[in-house]
Amino acid sequence: MNIAVTDDNPKDREKIIRILSEYAASNNMDISVSEYDNAGEFLADYRPLLYSAVFLDIYMDGTSGIEAAQQIRETDRDAIIVFLTTSEDHMPDAFRLHAYEYIVKPVRKEDLFPVMDDILKKSTPVSSPSFSFPVRDGQAVVLFDDLVTVGTDAHNYLVISDKDGNEHLTRMTFANACDHLLHDKRFLQARRGVIVNMAYIKSFDDALLHLTVGKPVPIGPRNRKKLEQIWDNYLMDRMRSGILTGGNRT
């Protein structure tokens, strides 16, 4: 279990990490803690799904915990954020940002242990299938449900687009991406060098595969019938399972 603790007070940080270590020992589990003394360094390292939980001090020099949480929410709506503070004045802001919990300092074992119990019980997207790939400043992760297309560009990069319109560049090979994705029945190789999540297909014409998110994908008339039949079968399978979501056919 990976946890981030961001607090500019080293004694408070040390105490939280010590309590987390006690919790891990008493529950016979492994907890890895990344500690930061300011929100800027934490945000530079942050990637969606990287941490099972994030503990953020609200009052910090520079970027505050509230401001850091606002930036997290721009890319990760489901992150478990626990605010740490000496005052309850910012509780309305915490709830607006869908904070998981709000702990008033000094943090005590009696406060933190129940929060950790609840976090362990919570079902989060971390358990959902996801695609991990290297990027310039580290590692990025996109849930299968959120991934729309994977394609090569003119500079031999893979361009990975998600449902929020973000595009990620990686040096991973297309063959490697195929190995990671094509075993999952939602993904279709639409043409050479392009993988599409069929949940986001909207329609076909002879030249293009149209998506509910992002640009259409050129396919050519000879491939249309085969691709459309695969998509039809995919939709039928999802309807049988009662989970038809995402890019419904129109």
Domain count, the chain: 2
* CA distance linking residue 149 with residue 136, whole number of Å: 20
Q: Would the pLDDT of 86 be above 90?
A: no
Within-domain flag for 246? no
Residue 249: per-residue pLDDT: 42
Task: From 95, 88, 59, 81, select the one nearest 5 (Cα to Cα).
Answer: 81
- pLDDT band with cut points at 50, 70 and 90 for residue 96: low
Is the same domain home to 236 and 143? yes
CATH of the domain at 140: 2.40.50.1020
Is the same domain home to 236 and 134? yes
Within-domain flag for 250? no
What's the mean per-residue pLDDT of the chain? Answer: 86
Is the same domain home to 172 and 116? no
Q: Would the pLDDT of 82 be above 80?
A: yes
**What confidence tens digit (pLDDT) does each residue in 2-11 have?**
899 999 999 9
Is the same domain home to 209 and 134? yes
Q: Point out the domain boundary residue: 77, 109, 126.
A: 126
Is the same domain home to 207 and 94? no
Q: Point out the domain boundary residue: 93, 126, 159.
A: 126
Is the same domain home to 67 and 164? no
**What confidence tens digit (pLDDT) does each residue in 237-250 have?**
777 665 444 444 43
76 or 92: which leads in pLDDT: 76
Within-domain flag for 73? yes
Is the same domain home to 115 and 135? no
Poorest-pLDDT segment among 39-48, 74-83, 116-125: 116-125
**What confidence tens digit (pLDDT) does each residue in 62-73 have?**
898 889 999 998
Is the same domain home to 237 and 214? yes
Output the six-digit token pair for 92. 């309305």
Residue 144: per-residue pLDDT: 92
Within-domain flag for 15? yes
Output the six-digit token pair for 122. 């919570």
Is the same domain home to 122 and 163? no
Output the six-digit token pair for 86. 């000496």
Q: Point out the domain boundary residue: 126, 149, 183.
A: 126
* CA distance linking residue 234 with residue 19, whole number of Å: 48
User: Cis omega (within 30 of 0) on the bond before 92?
Assistant: no
CA 89 to chain centre: 30
CATH of the domain at 50: 3.40.50.2300
Is the same domain home to 143 and 82? no
* CA distance linking residue 154 with residue 55, whole number of Å: 41
Is the same domain home to 121 and 211? no
Range of the domain at 225: 129-241
* CA distance linking residue 150 with residue 35, whole number of Å: 34
- pLDDT band with cut points at 50, 70 and 90 for residue 161: very high
Residue 49: per-residue pLDDT: 73
**What confidence tens digit (pLDDT) does each residue in 169-209 have?**
999 999 999 999 998 889 999 999 999 999 999 999 989 99
Within-domain flag for 212? yes
**Highest mean predicted confidence (pLDDT) among 88-97, 98-107, 151-160:** 151-160
- Please give the model's pTM, rounded to 2 decimal places: 0.52
Is the same domain home to 113 and 137? no
Residue 79: CB partners within 8 Å, gap ≥ 6? 48, 51, 54, 72, 73
Within-domain flag for 247? no
